[in-house]
Amino acid sequence: MPKLLVRVPSPLLAQGELTHLDRVEADADLALSQWREYVSVYRDRGWQIVDVAEAPDQPDGVFIEDAIVVFDDIVVIGRPGAESRRGEIATARAAVDTLGLPVHEIEAPGTLDGGDVLKIGRTVYVGASSRTNADGIRQLETLLGPRGWKVVAVPVTRVLHLKSAVTALPDGTVIGYEPLVDDPSVFPRFLPVPEEHGTAVVVLDEATVLMSADAPQTAALLRSRGLTVIRTPVTEFEKLEGCVTCLSVRVRR
């Protein structure tokens, strides 16, 4: 049974970090309702929900994917590029004990946010962003290279994280809103989408993806490719540069 690691949003969500967007007040109550709806999509499809300990004093703690990245038989605990987020790591570390996998951590001076990590087959694209530095990428490559992964650094200057700009469909095609993508040619197969909030999808199975409700044209495009598309509202998290990928850690083993 696949597992989903999630953390309930903090009541301080509206105070979260912003890098590329102007601040628009997020509604904490609406965010909680949207988060519950997001989790229910997975629960209804048979995923086991693993609740990471609450972190009410960490505004960005709901974006649990930034702290934890799972690669087959190991877990990598990141080191946030934003100092304000480093308090999230202790509780995230405790949660991975439930997975029964060896754990490795990114160490200073390296930084790595999971939102910068996109896995396609045995290739790991890692965003060289304001949150993930060269040393963090080097450490990840040292861990993954012997395990058969190829690590490719990708420039990210127009958005917060790599997966704010691009994600991948079940067949490995990378999708993104071109004005937000530094260099689409990095990816062997790239499909531009018509909406900013259409860049992020979570693959639920080989025929189904989950995405923001705020990208109807992109949803239609993906359906035209034969995919089943589930849409869920994440407006309050999008105000904080979040999306459907960063609200969870998916463990499929």
Catalytic site includes residue 161:
yes
Q: Which of 20, 104, 197, 246 is catalytic?
A: 246
Compute the distance between CA of residue 2 and CA of residue 23 in angstroms, rounded to an integer. Answer: 35
Active-site residue, selected from the candidate residues 104, 161, 197, 243: 161
Q: From residue 130, give the alpha-carbon distance in Å to each of 117, 162, 177.
A: 14, 10, 20
Other beta carbons within 10 angstroms of residue 105's beta carbon come to 15
Q: Residue 109: is the preceding peptide bond cis (ω within 30°)?
A: yes
Of the candidates 81, 178, 166, 64, the residue with the CA atom closest to the CA atom of residue 125 = 166
CA distance 180 to 121: 24
Residue 243 designated active-site: no
Alpha-carbon dihedral sign for residues 106, 108, 110, 115: positive
Catalytic residues: 161, 246
